[in-house]
Amino acid sequence: MSKKKQRNPKIRPLKPTSTSIGFYPILIIVILISSIGLINNYQKNKQQISPQATQEVATEQTWKKVIQPNIAFASQTYQDHAITHVLIPLKFGTYPQTVWLIINGNSPTQPNPILMTHPQLMNLTWKAIDDGIIHLYQRQKTYKSMEDFIDNPPDPEKIAIDLGVQKIEKYNSVVGKELDETIDSNSVDYILTTFVPPKSNNDVYYYENTFDTSQVILDKDNKILWQMNAPEATETNPLYIGHINIDYQ
């Protein structure tokens, strides 16, 4: 894969905030690379994680227990490497939760937030049509292309759309139910979302995705600021996060 040159964005301090996706104000846990070492941040070509690799990763994890809805962390950038591959191991204390990933200062042409996990979608087997990191899951294959779906959308009561997709101009004409932690997936036939079913191994889930971060506004230390939002994380149902791997191409 050819390298893509990263543009030089305007650098300014960014403060993580829960209000960017409309959740109530809460305490944010800031996870710094230098102090906690939760992030493995290095430059390499993207490699899909294999079942054997996930088993090896699972045995080496140091888990961070999270009982607050928001977690913030930063990653170092590399010159001329704008394609960013993210791998985040997760465990749930009692039951799977809805978890979102936010890239602070991301381009308005890309979905933000991104749906990482959802209890009703974790084992989703519906076939999907892909448009970059946006996916249309269909209970029965009705549409052959995303353009056909946009031009001739079904009954809004049969569509669930996540927050990140709703913010993209291309999909403004599509109306449906909000895909949040309360949605009943049995009530819809189409799910328009940034969600991809994570790999799993021994109750550990591995969220994996690739983003174009060339338009991201960096902080004062030339780092990308990220957030994970887990509105259901509590002391009785904590979220556990393993080593976050962020690779650049």
Q: Give the pLDDT confidence of 78-92 residue by residue, as tens digits.
A: 776 678 999 999 999
Q: What's the rounded mean pLDDT across residues 148-160? A: 96
Mark 53-74 as b/e (b = at least 16 C-beta within 10 Å).
Answer: ebeebbeeeebbebebbbbbbb
**Average pLDDT for the chain:** 78
pLDDT at 17: 34
Closest CA to 126 of 202, 48, 193: 193
- What is the number of H-type helices and E-type strands within the chain? 4, 17
Q: What are the tokens at 53?
A: 């690799």
Q: Which residues contact 68 (CB under 8 A, 6 or more apart)?
A: 26, 27, 28, 29, 233
**Res 157 pLDDT > 50:** yes
Q: What's the rounded mean pLDDT across residues 165-178? A: 91
**Whole-structure pTM over 0.95, yes or no?**
no
Domain boundaries, the chain: 1-118+197-249, 125-194
The larger pLDDT score, comparing residue 42 to residue 230, is at 230
Using an 8 Å Cβ cutoff, are 242 and 84 in contact? no
Least confidently predicted of 77-91, 116-130, 200-214: 77-91
Label residue 248 by pLDDT band (50, 70, 90). confident
pLDDT at 116: 95
Least confidently predicted of 45-49, 181-185, 190-194, 229-233: 45-49
CATH class in words for 1-118+197-249: mainly beta
Q: What's the rounded mean pLDDT across residues 210-229? A: 88
Question: Residue 226: beta bridge partners?
Answer: 73, 103
pLDDT at 217: 85
Q: What's the rounded mean pLDDT across residues 199-216? A: 90
**Res 5 pLDDT > 50:** no
pLDDT at 60: 63
The larger pLDDT score, comparing residue 59 to residue 82, is at 82
